[in-house]
Amino acid sequence: MRITSATTASLISTPGAAPMPAGRAANAPVAIAGTGVISAIGRNVTECLGSFEKGAAGMDTITYLDTVHRGQLPVAEVKADNETLARWAGVETSVSRTALLSLIAAREALERAAIPHRVRWRTGFISANTVGGMDRTENFYASFLDNPRYGRLRDVVLHECGSVTEWVADRLGITHFHSTISTACSSSANAISFGARMIRNGLLDIVVAGGTDALTRFTLNGFNSLMILDSRFCKPFDNDRLGLNLGEGAGYVVLVSDAVAATLSSPPGCVLSGFANANDAYHQTASSPDGRGSWLAMKGALQRAGLEPADISYINLHGTGTQNNDLAEGTAIRRLFDPVYPAMSSTKSFTGHTLGASGGIEAVFSVLAVLNGLIYPNLRFETPMTELPFTPTTEFLKGQPLRNVLSNSFGFGGNCTSLIFSKQSR
């Protein structure tokens, strides 16, 4: 039986849906069995980690997107055209770039999870995106407006965001539940927290959760109209920052119940211990100056995890590089952590801002940080912000004793989400 987001409630009474195990709190940690990612710095987990260690950013001049801004604005594109992505994914090319990126990363996450006899478990796919199949729709309308007899309707079939999720779920063989989240730049962080809630409440056993987004002309033009794109490579949390660089990619984690975790060949080394979503509703495209939404999200995640600010070892900053966002996030961090601050950095200095995929991609990086004791460098940082008493880390550090990593994803409209990933006691 396939359950969509519109029928989530009915799953509670579905025959075979196991109740929450006795004695298990609704806010108990959820194990993470696998990770998968594709971004401008690599087509999989191994390549991305290699780029971090080498300090190799993914920004470059525009290569694959057909836009008038080519040669003017740097972006962080995945280094492959759609035909190459389709070959990597093992599918046809007549689907959106968003869907191809999603399938590649989600499949890697499941393969790395290596769950025995996965078909016996109730499995869900909760995926976020903000552009859907817009990359193909843009091409369709260019031909159609030139001549109504031109333009292939197959290019608009997967336009809406939910169609991307359904297409990928079909190819992953996930039939029990799927849902699509679209809350701007916090989308895939919200997908992960939703997946954890489904498992904690005994509704699913396995959830592949995260998000995907591809670059489109609409996105690039929209952000450019807001005057928040940097014509240089972005400098998150630098006093001389001028804006963000857009990126693309996909990132997913595989969340599993205790019962599934017990079947794995080795115990998961990382859990999602806390999460929270808040909305300050300050402005349609700007964060509140006092960082209220950011503060509420981080504070709520700590409370759910039963942790204090001093327990956080590293913060994966939202860190877009815009004047407004970095100041709002930094103000919230100062309010919550002052006077002792953990290590922190923005991995968007490598991947660019991948919008609806950013929370998923950065969740993967956060899990890898916990598992491998990694702190990523904040590239191109030079001058501390005059308003803040802390600075981001600029070196790639290995072998760090990380217990808890906080990952921030703050979206348009004030939709703010924080996730906490913690080392699993063995």
Is 15 contained in some domain? no
Is 65 a residue whose pLDDT tops 90?
Answer: yes
The predicted structure's pLDDT at residue 90: 95
Q: Is the same domain home to 243 and 313?
A: no
Q: Is 176 a catalytic residue?
A: no
- pLDDT tens-digit readout, 70-99: 999 999 999 999 999 999 999 987 899 999
Selecting among 159, 161, 178, 185, the annotated active-site residue is 185
pTM given for the model: 0.93
Is 79 contained in some domain? yes
Q: Is the same domain home to 34 and 95?
A: yes
**Distance of alpha carbon 103 from alpha carbon 67, whole angstroms:** 25
- pLDDT tens-digit readout, 371-423: 999 999 999 999 999 999 999 999 999 999 999 999 999 987 779 999 999 99
pLDDT, the chain, mean = 91
Q: Which of 261, 287, 302 is the last residue of a domain?
A: 261
Q: Is the same domain home to 48 and 190?
A: yes
- How is residue 113 written in tokens? 């999870």
Is 20 a residue whose pLDDT tops 70?
Answer: no
Is 1 a residue whose pLDDT tops 80?
Answer: no
Give the range among 17-21, 100-104, 190-194, 420-424 with minimum mean pLDDT: 17-21
Q: Is the same domain home to 175 and 240?
A: yes
Number of domains in the chain: 2
Backbone angles phi, psi at 351, to 5 degrees: -95, -10
Q: Is the same domain home to 301 and 255?
A: no
What b/e readout covers 291-307, taking b as 16+ CB neighbours within 10 angstroms?
bbbbbbbbbbbbebbeb
Q: Is the same domain home to 137 and 163?
A: yes
Give the range among 105-109, 157-161, 330-334 with minimum mean pLDDT: 157-161
Residue corresponding to tokens 């987001």? 5
Selecting among 159, 176, 178, 353, the annotated active-site residue is 353
Is 16 contained in some domain? no
Q: Is 283 a catalytic residue?
A: no
Is 101 contained in some domain? yes
Is 381 contained in some domain? yes
Q: Is the same domain home to 181 and 324?
A: no
Q: Is the same domain home to 257 and 282?
A: no
Mapping DSSP to helix (H, G, I), strand (E, B) and coil, where does residue 271 land? strand
Q: Is the same domain home to 195 and 286?
A: no
Q: Is the same domain home to 220 and 251?
A: yes
Is 27 a residue whose pLDDT tops 90?
Answer: no
Q: Which of 261, 295, 312 is the last residue of a domain?
A: 261
The predicted structure's pLDDT at residue 25: 63
Q: Is the same domain home to 299 and 381?
A: yes
Q: Which of 217, 232, 261 is the last residue of a domain?
A: 261
Is 22 contained in some domain? no
User: The domain that contains 218 carries what CATH number?
Assistant: 3.40.47.10
* Structural domain of 360: 270-423
Give the range among 80-89, 138-147, 218-227, 292-301 with minimum mean pLDDT: 138-147
Selecting among 159, 161, 318, 416, the annotated active-site residue is 318
394 vs 140, more confident: 394
Q: Is the same domain home to 210 and 279?
A: no
Strand order of the β-sheet with 123-128 is 3-4, 177-181, 123-128, 206-213, 249-256, 30-38, 270-279, 415-423, 404-410, 314-316, 343-345
Is 173 contained in some domain? yes
Is 2 contained in some domain? no
